[in-house]
Amino acid sequence: GAGVSQSPSNKVTEKGKDVELRCDPISGHTALYWYRQSLGQGLEFLIYFQGNSAPDKSGLPSDRFSAERTGGSVSTLTIQRTQQEDSAVYLCASSPHRGPPGAEAFFGQGTRLTVV
Amino acid sequence: AQSVTQLDSHVSVSEGTPVLLRCNYSSSYSPSLFWYVQHPNKGLQLLLKYTSAATLVKGINGFEAEFKKSETSFHLTKPSAHMSDAAEYFCVVTVSGGYNKLIFGAGTRLAVHP
C-alpha cells in the first residue's frame, strides 16, 4: 500500500479481555516498530523487528504483551488480559533500511485502545 | 546508552515570531537525529533529519535544525511561526551500531497565538 496501515483504528475492550492490533508496513520495508503513546505522553518503544533477526523486545512492559511478524511483513501486537493502564494509542512504523545513516520511519495512524 | 531530552514541554509564541524548540541528546556514537511533528488527530510526520552530512538541516514548512556536537544539541527553529505550526514536536535519536531503534523525546507542544 501507499503507507503504513493499522487496524482497527479504535478498539474498546473490557478489562481482562485479549486484543490483537494489526500493522501492515510499507511493502519492502525491512524494519518494523511498535510504540505506545499514552495521553499527554511521548512515545514509548515496545518492540522492533528487523528482517530475519531476532526482535528487540526490550520495551514490552509485561509478559502480557507479545508481537509477531509473519513473513517479514504484517505484524500483530497482542495484549492479553488487558488492564486499564494499557489504554493508549499504539503506533506502528516501518523503515526501509537497517542502520545509519538513519532512515526515516513512516508511521501509521495508530490504534486507539480503550480498556473499560 | 542513547537518550534525548526536550527541554520544554510547552512553548507558546505569537504568529509571525520565531520558534525555538530545544533538544539535547546523549550518544556514545555519531548519532542520527530527527524531528517529527504530530498534528492533532494526525499521524507522525518527519520534519527533518541529520545523518552526519551538513550540520544545518532544512526541513519542510520552513523549519530547520542545527547539529552542534560540542553542545550535544539539535534545536529546531523557524523564523516566523504560522498558526498551522501548532502541534506536538518530537526530537528523536537512533541507537547506534546498524540498528535503527528510535528513541523519542517526551515532546514539546507548540501553541501559536494570533
Tens digits of residue pLDDT in B7-42 = 999 999 999 999 999 999 987 777 889 999 999 878
A43, A91 contact by CB (below 8 A): yes
> Which of B49, B100, B106 faces A42 most closely, judged by CB atoms?
B106
Residue with cell 516501518: A94
Helix (H) or strand (E) holding B101: none
Output the pLDDT for position B85.
97
Contact B99 A50 (CB under 8 A): yes
Give the residue from chain B lying closest to A4, CA to CA: B43
- Rounded CA-CA distance B33/B31 in Å is 6
Contacts of A93 in chain B (CB under 8 A): 44, 102
Please, which pLDDT band fits residue A52 given cuts at 50, 70 and 90?
Answer: confident
